[in-house]
Chain A
């Protein structure tokens, strides 16, 4: 029987997964936009984004636009690969669950 893949624990968290998937569809996104799309609080969102940043899955850029601070998040290549692998593992697990 083939060995079942393990799901990446960094991505498996629901909010972190939602954030990576959101960033997969855009070039870059602002903190406030991510907060609006996920319906999360500032503190929780900041903490989850930090975990993704520490894992090397997202890159952060801070800048000022019209004197207002702006924090932009962008998915890295490592993040894209991790999300792809996660989806593949998920499909494999689902296939095994259905076949069982």
Chain B
């Protein structure tokens, strides 16, 4: 083998390593659907608590959404390998979910909750989780969602209950539904590009 061919083979090995590492990393990043699912769950809980039995609306809807997320995520996990980033994402969102659930449930039972406090807590929690995720994933759009949630949480402390409700509905629409759909579209675009490059 001459020197040029040998050099080319070594270069090929290096590019093979780079492409395989990238392949492993990019195949698991699909989060958009979870935002849409939870956005819909929030709307169901709000509608149920407004027009139905308020006491059961939030706990039942949140538990149902958690179970559904777990089932769908485990189905996806069977097709994709686990990554450190994936585990970090799961840790952030599960931790945030459990904290919010315990806090809201305790405040609900003790009767010390109202819409201002509810929106402030949810805004702060979702703001923190979105900000942390966006820094790990280097996703600027998600950081914008964190800013919206933080703003909604802070603003709800200074406005009327009805206004706080409207702020909450708007934040869910932009940060869950719109952002989730945007995430799903950009993920499917990326998967199509990956498939055409493969």
Contacts and interface: CB of A to CB of B under 8 A. Distances in A.
Interface of A: 12, 14, 17-18, 21-30, 33, 37, 65, 70, 83, 87, 90-91, 93-94, 97-98, 100
Given A97-B3, A98-B7, A23 B24 contact: yes
A22 B23 contact: yes
Contacts of B18: 21
Given A14-B16, A65-B78, A37 B87 contact: no
Contacts of B10: 90, 93-94, 97
Contacts of B83: 25-27
A30 B81 contact: yes
Q: Considering residues B6, B19, B82, which has the most beta carbons from chain A within 10 angstroms of its beta carbon?
A: B82
B16 A18 contact: yes
A93 B3 CA distance: 11
Contact of A26 (B6, B7, B82): B82
B20 A27 contact: no
B21 A21 contact: yes
Given A14-B16, A30-B81, A33-B81, A97 B21 contact: no
B76 to A, nearest CB: 12
Interface string B83-109: 110110000000000000000000000
Given A27-B83, A29-B81, 12 more contacts: A14-B13, A17-B17, A21-B17, A25-B20, A25-B23, A27-B87, A28-B82, A70-B78, A90-B13, A93-B10, A97-B7, A100-B3
Interface of B: 3, 6-7, 10-11, 13-14, 16-25, 27-28, 78-84, 86-87
A22 B25 CA distance: 9
Contacts of B28: 26
Contacts of B3: 97, 100
A94 B20 contact: no
Q: Considering residues B7, B18, B28, which has the most beta carbons from chain A within 10 angstroms of its beta carbon?
A: B7
A33 B23 contact: no
Nearest to B6: A97
Contact of A87 (B11, B17, B19): B17
B7 A37 contact: no
A97 B94 CA distance: 51
Nearest to B10: A94
